[in-house]
Structure 1
Amino acid sequence: MTCTLCEAEAGEAYLCERDTTALAGRLARLPALAAELPAYLVPAARGLTEAVTSHPAGSRPPINLDVIDLVGTGHIAALVRSWRVDVQRVRWPQHTPPALAGLTADCRWLGMELDWIATRYPAAGDLAREVQDLERQARSIVGDPVPVPQRIGLCVAVTDDEGTVCGAVLSHLPGKTVRCRWCRTEYRTEQDLLLLLHHQPEQTA
């Protein structure tokens, strides 16, 4: 029998070993990709300095409709859940549908059932193809690899009446507001960001 995804020889399975391994990796990565997508709801400039100057005061950048399609409508989570429900229905028809568990739990569950899916589930190729498409769409937005927060300096917010400066390390992802995880101060406006850069200690400037 040939693989129902790539048509390579798959023995008696519906998915070849290569595509089964690839599907396992995509299921493992998908929750992290989905978690990054909201950071790209509002397209941002490449760097912090560009973000300060790229939009005139009072202007609003456009909304990324691709992110709305994938996350705002629940498309990724709903699609993965539909596959979990169907796999369980085929394997254990006597069971009731699984309770709502979230994208991470559904991906993990499917990953744990991959041996059975590859060898016994006739729709294995369609499942693998749709998960592959989800990852491709997500990566077209967030890039490859998944971006990691960039260290941009220290929080300069004054936290008490004695003038104590927070000093916590600030990190930033494209499209997200710069927010201190320690004191919760946000640096939203152009002036906020310029002051943040201006007041950095000399060794971090």
Structure 2
Amino acid sequence: MTGCEVCGTETGGRYLCGRHAEQLAERLAELPKVYDEVAECLVPRRSGPAEFVTAASAGPRSPLDESVLDEVNTARAAEVTHLWRVDVQRVRWPHHGAPAPAGLAADCRWLAMELEWIVEHYPAAGDLAREVRELELAARSIVGDPAPRPQRLGTCVAVDGEGVVCGAAITRLPGQGRVSCRWCGYRYESEQDWLTLLHFQPKADAAGEAA
């Protein structure tokens, strides 16, 4: 082996050059975020914010956008990434058993932590880099490139059993309908939910949003 497995650049014995090792690290960090956005795209987009306050249209409606589901989904990305984790562990620690499925984010994080060893010692590093790139490109073909930025809606007003307000930031992607607080899990779905969220925003935040 005389050069980078992706571009052929002389690497001094490493399987990836510095540029492609850095790109792989960035993609492993971004992949779970992009596929979170893909999951949102699986829910059919409606016309806009009015979806929160208008009655549902008559007639049956598929809960998923099947054209997106056929092309790319989080389950497939998680499966592919986990197989790479299994193989890296097999090569590095041949006497260890295969790791249990842990989810896309956990497997990406594990591969990123082992990236230095992968670049130095893993003969399939080039194939790993190419397949992670393909997963990212497939996802971005759905969500856009660059991916859409979340919109900040305010802070969560859900109250726990002790009367403590959650206060975590509530965000959504453009066109997204229902939103769950990532901290406490409360779901904002109905018209009343959105009115309550708006009503109880701190005055300073509301003034900042208006500005």
Same fold (TM over 0.5): yes
**Does the 8 A contact of 1:85 with 1:97 survive in 2?**
yes
Aligned to 1:19: 20
Structure 1 counterpart of 2:67, one-letter code: L
Query: Hey, what's the Cα distance between the residues in 1 that align with 2:126 and 2:59?
Result: 49
Ranges in structure 1 where 5+ consecutive residues have no aligned partner: 156-168
Query: Hey, what's the Cα distance between the residues in 2 that align with 1:105 and 1:154?
Result: 27
1:77 aligns with 2:78: yes
**Does the 8 A contact of 1:87 with 1:117 survive in 2?**
yes
Cα distance, 1:33 vs. partner? 1.3
CA gap of 1:24–1:154, structure 2 versus 1, over 3 A, is closer
Cα distance, 1:106 vs. partner? 1.0
Cα distance, 1:69 vs. partner? 4.5
CA gap of 1:172–1:115, structure 2 versus 1, over 3 A, is closer
Aligned to 2:4: 3
**Does the 8 A contact of 1:149 with 1:171 survive in 2?**
yes
- Residues 132-187 of structure 1: CA distance to partner in whole angstroms, max 9, x if unpaired? 000111111112333333246899xxxxxxxxxxxxx9753245324475974524
Query: Hey, what's the Cα distance between the residues in 1 that align with 2:41 and 2:23?
Result: 26
Cα distance, 1:95 vs. partner? 1.1
Cα distance, 1:65 vs. partner? 2.9
Cα distance, 1:92 vs. partner? 1.2
TM-score (ref. length: structure 1) = 0.71
**Seq. identity, %:** 49
Structure 1 counterpart of 2:65, one-letter code: I
Q: How does 1:152-163 map to 2 (within 5 A)?
A: none
Aligned to 1:88: 89
Ranges in structure 2 where 5+ consecutive residues have no aligned partner: 157-168, 200-206
**Does the 8 A contact of 2:155 with 2:170 survive in 1?**
yes
- Report how many residues are paired: 186
C-alpha RMSD of the superposition:
3.7
1:186 aligns with 2:211: no
